[in-house]
Structure 1
């Protein structure tokens, strides 16, 4: 690499004393060394600040920002963006572990692809019982843009963002999308620049019982309302606004745990809704209709199965008459085989 642009690594921390040292050591040991490491201690009460301060004495690239009181994640992340000086901003959580060449691989990609505004990676998820699994997402810009209409297309702690994109368009995390704030930001970023995921594991993601992700799963009603807003935002990019009933059906069909709420809906109603969305997508030219149709087909199969509609002859017959059924089954089988 001929040039070595500065990378600002933003690490929010709230009561992460048990893991923050390991996270910081993994960033300090990166093969790419042109870093500023912004650690924002958000009013921790468990000794996190002492651990962070000790680490900063061992690596002067670590800059400690302390909140006297807990300002919550979104405000903390936005403060990190404001303080960042790097050409690129890399995200990292206080309980995760970056593989040694994570930053180097992402900077190399971003420097070679000036059209890219954001670059994520695959990750290895592990829990407190030592169980592990590999997690991956779409890789190419077209597929990522389409996937964002159904679910988040980047693993938040793996991303590297071109800071100029955030500054030029004044893009920040928004409180109204709390616990899906990253999904909303990626929708805004990919409207203005391309996105990519490196198809290699570059981060170990620690799944804790009290993590933000687990808390969001427990508070399903609040999470559902936020996801409906996210889907409204996505669909607005193709110039379509759904009725409240349509919006609920669409959003419930995207999430396994919410399908139960829409199980009384006829399959043909979901087919009609997806067709309406794909028609608008085709008209707008904003997103690849083929890819969006594939992701909707996969969600169609999930809806058919988890709603129990496949047990009802009339609904099953409607499903069998739809291209979504055959495309969804094919893609589901192909995805399973890929693992």
Structure 2
């Protein structure tokens, strides 16, 4: 039976911690161990930790005397892991029943796979949506093909709690980079895929990703341009890392830069089209796109944006506005369905 270490970093998430830990401890089909690292919380996290460790011998606790931040906390847990596989589970997220056995089963049967992920469920509030349990097998990607696909789209295919990694791969990569506080996870997954294959679990859901106002994605790491810059930094860091030995890293980086630039320009068009040009940082978005991909001036999208900016100010006809909104939503939905079914865009 595979041994899986679940690392739960916690900073002032005591209100979620008990449910999070139980979602890991209740997993079947694997030997589960849980390590909770309290990064000097000021809420009731210490009391929750004591309760969990007293009730279940599989729970270990580390309590920091000084707050070290999330990246240092993640890496501490990774460095202490000796199990076959590991999962880094934020204290506000949850695992779906059967998630660890499904992921471990894939890696047991595919020694070349260093990273496995599945489908996350967005969790709003306290009521857990019913997860899909129809396991329809898995897809194995050549890691370098997966990296190439990420570069071509400029997107991050993974949310976070739905990932399991082979511990030996994590140790070889030496964990997360502190220079990338917002996109260290994306960068790590790119490096993992550069040195190992990637597995995607089809059908069944793997984890709940909690959406709430106190999350880092909505506080210190908020904003569309911030996210684009973080993705840019993740691609640069991973593709140029010597451990990845990517001989075509320049081409991959060019593809990623082009994809991110076009994404920024599409966002500009949506802002102008919605009549919000006066309240959004269009200049910064243009600078970002041109810096990454100067040739963007020769694209049809650039011409569309310039035409929209030159258009006479005034309200867009309601019928046209509705049509554009519907078309954007349909396109987004199509992309989302493809990602949810295959794990890639």
TM-score normalised by structure 1 residue count? 0.72
Taking a change above 3 Å as real, the CA distance of residues 247 and 198 of structure 1, as seen in their structure-2 partners, is closer
Q: Secondary structure of the residue that 1:218 maps to in structure 2?
A: coil
2:220 pairs with 1:210: no
Query: What are the equivalent positions in structure 2 for 1:168-317 lying under 5 Å apart?
Result: 169-199=172-202, 200-218=204-222, 223-233=227-237, 236=240, 237=246, 238-240=248-250, 251-254=260-263, 259=268, 260=282, 261-263=284-286, 272=295, 308=305, 311=308
Taking only aligned residues, the RMSD between alpha carbons, in angstroms, comes to 4.2
Cα distance in 1, alignment partners of residues 127 and 306 from structure 2 = 37
Which one of the candidate residues 74, 79, 91 is aligned to 2:76?
79
Q: Secondary structure of the residue that 1:77 maps to in structure 2?
A: helix
Cα distance in 2, alignment partners of residues 337 and 191 from structure 1 = 26
Q: Secondary structure of the residue that 2:114 maps to in structure 1?
A: strand
Partner residue of 2:51? 54
2:115 pairs with 1:118: yes
2:125 pairs with 1:128: yes
Partner residue of 1:107? 104
Q: Secondary structure of the residue that 2:191 maps to in structure 1?
A: helix
Cα distance in 1, alignment partners of residues 5 and 31 from structure 2 = 9
Taking a change above 3 Å as real, the CA distance of residues 63 and 223 of structure 1, as seen in their structure-2 partners, is same
Question: Post-superposition shift, 1:11?
Answer: 0.7
Count residues with an aligned counterpart.
291
Partner residue of 1:335? 335
Cα distance in 1, alignment partners of residues 6 and 53 from structure 2 = 14
Cα distance in 1, alignment partners of residues 234 and 89 from structure 2 = 23
Query: Does the aligned pair in 2 maintain the 1:148–1:183 contact within 8 Å?
Result: no
Instruction: Please give the per-residue CA displacement for 1:207-249, whole angstroms capped at 9, x wherever unaligned.
Output: 11010121255356654443322232355442328999x9876
Query: Does the aligned pair in 1 maintain the 2:264–2:289 contact within 8 Å?
Result: no
Higher relative contact order (CA 8 A, sep 6+): 2
Show structure 2 runs of 5+ residues with no match. Answer: 133-137, 241-245, 269-281, 311-329, 341-345
Q: Secondary structure of the residue that 2:250 maps to in structure 1?
A: coil
Which one of the candidate residues 91, 113, 118 is aligned to 1:94?
91
Query: Does the aligned pair in 2 maintain the 1:263–1:309 contact within 8 Å?
Result: no
Show structure 1 runs of 5+ residues with no match. Answer: 276-299, 314-329
Query: What are the equivalent positions in structure 2 for 1:59-74 lying under 5 Å apart?
Result: 59-74=56-71
Query: Does the aligned pair in 2 maintain the 1:23–1:95 contact within 8 Å?
Result: yes
Cα distance in 2, alignment partners of residues 94 and 257 from structure 1 = 35
Instruction: Please give the per-residue CA displacement for 1:42-80, whole angstroms capped at 9, x wherever unaligned.
Output: 110101011011011111101001111211100000000
Instruction: Please give the per-residue CA displacement for 1:132-185, whole angstroms capped at 9, x wherever unaligned.
Output: 7999xx965256323432122222212111111222x34310011111001111
Cα distance in 2, alignment partners of residues 264 and 228 from structure 1 = 14
Query: Does the aligned pair in 1 maintain the 2:96–2:131 contact within 8 Å?
Result: no
